[in-house]
Amino acid sequence: MQYNKVEICGVNTSKLKVLTEKEKMDLLRRVKNGDMEARDELIKGNLRLVLSVIQRFTNRGENADDLFQVGCIGLIKAIDHFDTSHGVRFSTYGVPMIIGEIRRYLRDNNSIRVSRSLRDTAYKAMQVKEKMTAENDREPTVEEIAEKLDIPREEVVVALESVVAPVSLYEPVFSNGGDTIYVMDQIGDNNDDNNWLDEISLKEAIKNLSERERNILSLRYFKGKTQMEVASEIGISQAQVSRLEKTALDKVKKDI
């Protein structure tokens, strides 16, 4: 996905206006007094903020135009709810709002279905998180979110985890000089050594079979053919295939 293209959603990103913090505050005060022109100017003057936020979601396979539109919704909500009396920068409040809106969009469009009650809890938890982040200039702990919602900490953890977008096993996590490490490379299995040894033993056991026995097992268990299909292919009866297959499997089990 490319975010460096000049035009997103019909907006020429190379010509976006950048407002100073003083200009933002002046416009926000006008917005609070119902000035819709100031609101429009404030939206246009913060589109670069939306662009900077959607950069964080580059590896999710989402369309840049869609994320930009959703991010703009978060920006508008931030403008409408920002309190100038808090004495914080607009971006401090706006960024979490934009991120939250994009995460809700990704959650609702997730191919993995999550129960309505769990989604509702996650939505409330994210709202509390965004609000507390804006008020305290730091992200709240899970315990603080749980206390605010008056629910057990475990429920908050499960709810938030349920709406996290799944990560591909082939997603790169590190690259150095062409040698890339993927997520799957960091996943271990306590039985890896046993599986490896079992595979060697199986290969050795199969080597001890006759050519016909190896052929029958290959057709049956690697190519998924029925005994009737195997019988037709190698020119013997189905009963003979059944007997040879059983004999071969007994030999393999004994050798292993």
| Residue boundaries of the structural domains of the chain | 1-109, 111-168, 192-255
CATH architecture of 1-109: Up-down Bundle (1.20)
254 or 231, which is more confident? 231
CA dihedral 127→167→138→89, nearest 10 degrees, is: -80
Q: How confident is the model at residue 182, as a pLDDT?
A: 61
What fold, for 111-168? Answer: Arc Repressor Mutant, subunit A (1.10.10)
91-105 tens-digit pLDDT: 888 888 898 888 888
C-alpha span between 98 and 72 (Å, rounded): 7
Asked if residue 174 has pLDDT above 70, the reply is no
Q: pTM of this prediction?
A: 0.45
Domain 111-168 and domain 192-255, same fold? Reply is yes
* 3: confidence class by pLDDT, cuts 50, 70, 90: very low
**What is the architecture of the domain spanning 192-255?**
Orthogonal Bundle (1.10)
Q: What is the pLDDT of residue 18?
A: 80
Residue 63 scores a pLDDT above 60: yes
Instruction: With a cut of 70, say whether residue 27 has pLDDT above it.
Output: yes
The residue ranking higher by pLDDT, 184 or 193, is 184
**Per-residue confidence (pLDDT) for residue 145, from 0 to 100:** 92
